[in-house]
Structure 1
């Protein structure tokens, strides 16, 4: 019998003698929640709140119980009721921020996470939550600063180091990301954030012997990790298994539907499988999210070329290269247009630009180019890390 199970039995025995004891009821409800028994927790809380309707701990626990069952609207309403009554407990702000974060309301989550993080001496875990709220809005530099500040005050808070490695990766500070990720894995070998960072960095180096176990480990520790799933998709792309790559990228998009770059990868999986219509669907999703992203227009140009719509392709290339003269899809589409128009010299010049760029080093394939670009690109906005 575990210590928790033994305590559960004791509490039931004590409550038989004193069924209205608020402290015992609260501990029992909390224990049921630790066991993952939400319904039993709710039943005990109903008894507690019948005895003391204003009990802060019981009402907070009821909100957490709702959140655990993914009843986020109800949980947020419960926490908001407490806040409006004047409660200013750090844990209340933390739980409200967490629920808002799960609902994708990142700007609101930032406000309450900041309030909780201002009392990190009471609630150290508020630091990572605040940094994540910033990260999910694409405020990478601010998130790095928040994370570094929190770690300067609480260097013992190990979960934050994996987040810091992720933030360094999105800040394109690759050397720092690798150093921190390696340090984390030395202490916590299964840390999903650090493993994902090492996996993405290894993809960029085409070192699949490291990337595969790292990303598999990350997905085992955190099955809903959008970034790790994306990494597995990129690995499959590099291995030439485009069907599997498309599947993994589609899974990743379930958790980060607002991430433009992931729609681009899905489109490339389909382009490489000669599926222009399906690729266009993915690119139109990306366009809906951001009409001024050069690579989306470049991808649409490639699709138009595959469909024989050269006039449409030329317009998309013009938009792509107008937004970003170094856009890999834009330049690639332009080279295809020259090639299709019987201009091999101009096409070769464009290919030369691609080969000289940092995006597509000499000799790499399209799969390698896409994988490297995505692995090292900032995920940030609307990209929950799990």
Structure 2
């Protein structure tokens, strides 16, 4: 309601400013004000019209070129905005121009270019919190954890943080397995009233790591209400459903996870095991083969595929896969499960939940340990 009121007030001020422009159309101060009021009112078309009018009169004016860039960002014209801010940045080494360029490239998923735009301004001093957040997201997507953790330390040391920054930093710490810092950042983000998608995914992951499936599911669902394409939330929700052995629901959620986050090997593994639980062996094989295509040096991918081959009766292939998995990871529990199948330990009829528990015991949990540990914690309550 407050946002709508602010938009209405900006629209009223814009109408008055436009009445002045009708009398004095070349007034640069009025043109600049009309552009900003159009953006504040959520009327990008009017803002664009005023920006273009200003540039017709002052085509080389960098200020009005920059204002047009902001209009293009509001219109989600990412490539046009990036081209404009890139040209301006070539003329002026300015951190704000770099931020606007990086913002456009982030929206396009071009994270290496986000880094290239912002990192020169982050070497000697802290960035403003919004720019640092965009750079941190890029470093996270590029899996450069050393650079990401150094950026977090530098921003915190100089006090250039906010709730959104802490939410993204918490996810970085979570993936870097620095769990106390992840918890600290989650608390800082929530204390600042931050309920961004990243803050909710972080909160859900931490709840899942403490075997609180209900709280985890609530956080992941809230994240998905904000962004239905958030793959990490779908993955966490799928694992929460697996903990409750709600397997049809878990499979649907994990299939959404790999749709939106196709490069996340852990989600492919979870989907593979979920399909095993549901006795969909061709589907499980496809999931583990996809994981192998991304990284052939991950022991659990070989072990998961070996488990499928063992269940399919392909003994020779399963033994080869077990050998590869154990060569890469002597503790590979997926390989151990495949060995159990080959030895006949899994041949006798058992309750489905017991079988699921055996397999789940080897899957990594979000905060270390295993999903089996989470099940044990939940059952002890």
Partner of 1:376: 367
Rounded Cα–Cα distance in structure 2 between residues aligned with 1:258 and 1:66: 30
- Number of aligned residues: 355
**Contact 2:10/2:40 (<8 A) preserved:** no
**Contact 1:113/1:133 (<8 A) preserved:** no
**How far apart are 1:28 and its partner, in Å?**
2.7
Partner of 2:18: 12
Cα pair distance change 1:74/1:187, threshold 3 Å? closer
Question: Is 1:50 equivalent to 2:41 in the alignment?
Answer: no
**Which secondary structure state, in structure 2, belongs to the residue aligned with residue 312 of structure 1?**
helix
Cα-to-partner distance string for 1:349-380 (whole Å, 9 max, x where unaligned): xxxxxxxxxxxxxx95534653xx15237xxx
Partner of 1:74: 80
**How far apart are 1:143 and its partner, in Å?**
0.9
**How far apart are 1:246 and its partner, in Å?**
2.5
Cα-to-partner distance string for 1:183-210 (whole Å, 9 max, x where unaligned): 4323426354343223212222322232
Rounded Cα–Cα distance in structure 2 between residues aligned with 1:328 and 1:65: 54
Question: Is 1:208 equivalent to 2:213 in the alignment?
Answer: yes
Rounded Cα–Cα distance in structure 1 between residues aligned with 2:322 and 2:75: 47
Partner of 1:360: none
Partner of 2:286: 281
Partner of 2:336: 331
Segment of structure 1 superposing worse, 104-113 or 87-96: 104-113
Of structures 1 and 2, the one with the larger relative CO (CA 8 A, separation 6+) is 1
Match of residue 127, structure 1, among 125, 132, 150? 132
Cα pair distance change 1:296/1:66, threshold 3 Å? farther
Rounded Cα–Cα distance in structure 2 between residues aligned with 1:232 and 1:192: 14
Partner of 1:145: 150
Match of residue 167, structure 2, among 162, 167, 177? 162
**Is there any run of 5+ residues in structure 1 with no aligned partner, and where?**
345-362, 378-386
Rounded Cα–Cα distance in structure 2 between residues aligned with 1:261 and 1:246: 14
Rounded Cα–Cα distance in structure 1 between residues aligned with 2:302 and 2:237: 26
Partner of 1:175: 180
Partner of 1:351: none
Question: Is 1:25 equivalent to 2:31 in the alignment?
Answer: yes
Cα pair distance change 1:242/1:364, threshold 3 Å? closer
Cα pair distance change 1:182/1:287, threshold 3 Å? same
TM-score, normalised relative to structure 2: 0.82
**Which secondary structure state, in structure 1, belongs to the residue aligned with residue 129 of structure 2?**
coil
Rounded Cα–Cα distance in structure 2 between residues aligned with 1:253 and 1:27: 45
Rounded Cα–Cα distance in structure 2 between residues aligned with 1:255 and 1:53: 42
**How far apart are 1:5 and its partner, in Å?**
2.5
Rounded Cα–Cα distance in structure 1 between residues aligned with 2:110 and 2:286: 26
Rounded Cα–Cα distance in structure 1 between residues aligned with 2:169 and 2:269: 26
TM-score, normalised relative to structure 1: 0.81
Cα-to-partner distance string for 1:200-246 (whole Å, 9 max, x where unaligned): 12222322232222323333344443322221121122222223222
Partner of 1:382: none
Partner of 1:245: 250
Rounded Cα–Cα distance in structure 1 between residues aligned with 2:276 and 2:87: 51
**Contact 1:298/1:333 (<8 A) preserved:** yes
Cα pair distance change 1:272/1:75, threshold 3 Å? farther
**How far apart are 1:76 and its partner, in Å?**
2.7
Rounded Cα–Cα distance in structure 2 between residues aligned with 1:241 and 1:31: 51
**Contact 1:232/1:245 (<8 A) preserved:** yes
**Contact 2:205/2:216 (<8 A) preserved:** yes
**Is there any run of 5+ residues in structure 2 with no aligned partner, and where?**
349-355, 369-381
Rounded Cα–Cα distance in structure 2 between residues aligned with 1:154 and 1:341: 56
Rounded Cα–Cα distance in structure 2 between residues aligned with 1:52 and 1:132: 37
**How far apart are 1:53 and its partner, in Å?**
1.9
**Contact 1:120/1:126 (<8 A) preserved:** no
Cα pair distance change 1:69/1:189, threshold 3 Å? closer
**How far apart are 1:161 and its partner, in Å?**
1.7
**Contact 2:273/2:359 (<8 A) preserved:** no
Cα-to-partner distance string for 1:301-337 (whole Å, 9 max, x where unaligned): 1222233222222222222211111223222222222
Partner of 1:347: none
Cα pair distance change 1:202/1:49, threshold 3 Å? same
**Which secondary structure state, in structure 2, belongs to the residue aligned with residue 104 of structure 1?**
coil
